[in-house]
Structure 1
Amino acid sequence: MPLPRMKTNRRYASAQQFAYEELRHWILNGPLEPHEVVRDVEIAELLGVSRTPVREALIRLGQEGLVEASASRMTRVAGLPLDRAPHLFQVGATLDAMAAELAAPKMTEADLQLMESLHESLGQTTAPERLSALDEEFHLVYYRRAGNPVLIELLESIDEQLRRIERHSWGYRRIQKEAHEEHRTLLDALRAGDATAAGEAARVNWLRSWERGAEVFNSRE
């Protein structure tokens, strides 16, 4: 199990919360991969805590569907939620389009400059984890400008459920280039204040993201 070196300076209310958040981050963002065995003794040693909070953290992660017990009673990282993915992307496309439409007439120059900077970074980066993070930051700029906190909560929930799938898709250069072009179209529409065009660009980006992801996973079968 290739666990990372500990670098966090964050403070936690309890050892269980510490173990939970670190493990959850590793599952969603790497290096832990689907179906990989998770050994509580190794994690406890790495985190500098006892095995009890690690076991409690694994129970919470199991309730969230991120880890599961195998037939041999070993704990493994859960497989990717590919059965839910097309539905999540479909709903996400509609919600993201709504956010872009609401945000288009409200975008500030500072918003647009930030998105330009993030778009430039997206074009210069090839590391999947970094691309995934930049993509989330790019979309979050206009989510916030949309001014609808419920919409943001729903989109962030969907983004989080799809993060592991997106991380695998970002590893392909063709996908990186196509997504970069789609982000350019979206950004241009937001700069023009064109709500209809921005909504359509956001919707297409989400739907194409799943089409590309499905191609990747189907090719592995």
Structure 2
Amino acid sequence: MLKGSIKWRLEFKPEKIQWDDVAQEAERGRLYKADYMDKQGRIVFVIRPGIQSASSSCAQIKYLIYCLENAIWNISSNQEEQMVWLIDFQGWSTACLSLKIVRDTAQILQAHYPERLGLAIFYNPPKVFESFWTMVKPFLEPKTYKKVIFVYPDNPRSRRMVMEEHLDMDKLESYFGGKNTVGFNYEAYAQKMKEDDKSMSDVFDSCCSSSPGFLSSEFHESV
């Protein structure tokens, strides 16, 4: 797995993806990194598959990779390295189905970002999703799908035991039953991503100029 991941990074260069490359896919708030952590200090991603994307599957995957790289960049040395995925199924229907994107996402996460997923909360999935989930599970390793929890807002016990246990309800978006009615702010999010891009680029350029080929040599030494 390590050799394959190193080869993928050297060829795909995920660290080179910039905000301007993926900004269009981010506009509607279909996927974004929340501005709060869960109660264990883990980065939280909000995913809203019910919002249709006009982008190609490749563009959607590219944006996902950009978000993962950005999240990893922002993890401090004493912070929990795993992430929480909050998936809101409002508006989701079979028209949103894309087994290819699900398969590609699972492959990338499990092969190149192993153990990054700490918890996935499926919030209010419709009944029809159960059949889709049956098709998706074979693409996932058991240790991955065991981290998935289904939450139904019409079940107070389910909501209380999961959402309130893991998240600050004052900061959580209203579409997850929280008190935050502001939700996703594209302009503020774009500004933050551009600032992170600049910081990452400065560090990367500094390392490359002081130690040419440092990435390649380090990767090969670790194999």
Report which of the two has the higher share of strand. Answer: 2
Q: What TM-score results when the alignment is normalised by the length of structure 2?
A: 0.26
Report which of the two has the higher share of helix. Answer: 1
Q: What TM-score results when the alignment is normalised by the length of structure 1?
A: 0.26
Instruction: Give the structure with higher Rg (CA).
Output: 1
